[in-house]
Structure 1
């Protein structure tokens, strides 16, 4: 048996009358390994340490129906590897995930995110005690559900952002620190109020929060041997008591 071909599958029969499982083996991550092909793993976001990133992802997951991007294994995201590795896969896809991020967060000058000056910063999360503002987008740029990925290039978002408006078409939020020391994720009123027909979200957010919330994703992708278009979902804890269907969504994260 060879493990050189990324999409090779091996049927595995469970004699207890379970469905047939397909095991896929590869060497894409350096050393050979196998996974159950149709299993969708869940990436657990550290909601307690990075509440703003978690709240933003939860909001877009739970309010933007019927897609519910990455909410459960039934409505998963599809992984898009970086351009160099993606181009070598059987799909031949070669789009860079940074291109998706550019369309949602930066794009044309009239559409790029202008960070709110009252965006909360978290220098305490850095060894250098520094931080700056950034654009947090959901669905993630390295997925086929990113609103920055055109349908013509394989994008699976039902309404990708247009050339004319780009990231302005997303739900707009920002994190703010209140006088009592607590933090809140607010609607960014510099933009039109959300209609909830949007298919993406972008948030003015601390770079430390934004980047560190997903810092473990590389090892997650390696552990579960995610290849091009493999599915996964995002597990977000602490918002079980929140009602995403309310006209005004107000909720507190629970431990």
Structure 2
């Protein structure tokens, strides 16, 4: 956030060169800003909620994959030189809120802006403001909630909704950046005071699912895998995430997985980690060979340092008397801790179902090549658990009611 007349600089200049100070004084602006990120904006197969600042108090910067809102507080000061010293003779305090709701299935979206004068004091008697929203890559490029300057009374809000769209060619993407400018003026001050801010962007593309759509790429979404439906495959992911030192895709411990969009490269990864002639260790039924990290990520295959499936830690799945599936490491050699990949023989239907979850997730949230995402296993039979609850339920711990391998 940048002000052409920052308060610190104004005070320093006036103190250093009081003879150059205009008799009317000058204005400056300081800003209060913040940032938060929605932790539950994306669940594969669910609706895609938008975030709003309306019910959030104070200073807010809140985002999800398809929307964001921001409320900042602008503190304006009117400063004069009186008897050789700088003095604040008047103030005004504004709240500025912006909400943008993107559409995962359209290149059109809406933008909301409102400006509220919270309070004013002293020599700032009848302030006026102008406001402009700039959006590179958008049509229109600039939008204004009102033309020129307008007066806003104390506790009054001026607001406006804009509709914009981003022209996109087939098979391309467009990066969108916002920038805003607000100018404050009032009687008795020599110069108008301008403040600008931005640092929020979006991306619109026509490269996913054959349609146009827009996202907030700064937000890293989460793919949720339901243990209740994908038991052996889900348990294998938990074992890999919790026990391997890389903690692939595990928020808070590891780094996100990144999508590999090239189908031929994905197949190469699959052929390396689980070749068609794969034979499980003696004593294990063949089932299907499931791998983690997913073949369609840059963490798999040669890009992840894997040149042979023999480098993977080998897990096997088994079904308890109550019907739940679990996985364990074959021969318990603890290779899972440092192995560059994990694979397990799992029921085919569970293996392919996770692949379907990932495919739908990729389209729903418009993952492009190299886009990051987290992976979290949940159990909808118990609600959506915290990470610790998930680990307790899917790892062999006391009081988690996990059965013993018969």
One fold, TM greater than 0.5?
yes
Query: What is the aligned partner in structure 2 of residue 176 from structure 1?
Result: 318
Query: What is the aligned partner in structure 2 of residue 186 from structure 1?
Result: 328
CA contact (8 A) 1:103 1:167 kept: yes
CA contact (8 A) 1:105 1:113 kept: no
**Higher relative CO (CA 8 A, sep ≥ 6), structure 1 or 2?**
1
Aligned pairs for 1:244-255 within 5 A: 250-251=396-397, 252=400
Task: Give the gaps of 5 or more residues in structure 2.
Answer: 1-165, 182-195, 380-386
SS of alignment partner, residue 335 of structure 2: coil
Structure 1 residue 250 displacement after superposition: 2.2
Structure with a larger share of its residues in strand? 2
1:253–1:101 Cα change, 3 Å: farther
SS of alignment partner, residue 338 of structure 2: coil
Q: Does residue 182 of structure 2 align to residue 37 of structure 1? A: no
1:14–1:69 Cα change, 3 Å: farther
Deviates more, 1:18-27 or 1:37-46: 18-27
Separation in structure 2 between the aligned mates of residue 180 and residue 37 of structure 1, nearest angstrom: 42
Task: Give the gaps of 5 or more residues in structure 1.
Answer: 84-94, 120-131
CA contact (8 A) 2:329 2:336 kept: no
Structure 1 residue 175 displacement after superposition: 0.8
Q: Figure out how many residues of one structure are paired with residues of the other and give that number.
A: 210
Query: What is the aligned partner in structure 2 of residue 233 from structure 1?
Result: 374
Query: What is the aligned partner in structure 2 of residue 6 from structure 1?
Result: 172
Separation in structure 1 between the aligned mates of residue 226 and residue 274 of structure 2, nearest angstrom: 23
**TM-score, L = length of structure 2:** 0.46
Separation in structure 1 between the aligned mates of residue 207 and residue 365 of structure 2, nearest angstrom: 12
Aligned pairs for 1:11-26 within 5 A: 11-13=177-179, 20-26=199-205
Separation in structure 2 between the aligned mates of residue 242 and residue 218 of structure 1, nearest angstrom: 23
C-alpha distance after superposition, 1:102-151 (max 9, x if no partner): 101117x6xx34277654xxxxxxxxxxxx811110000000001x1x2x
Among residues 269, 288, 292, which one is paired with 1:138 in the alignment?
292
SS of alignment partner, residue 142 of structure 1: coil
Structure 1 residue 177 displacement after superposition: 2.4
Aligned pairs for 1:96-115 within 5 A: 96-106=265-275, 112-114=278-280
Among residues 364, 368, 379, which one is paired with 1:223 in the alignment?
364
CA contact (8 A) 1:14 1:20 kept: no
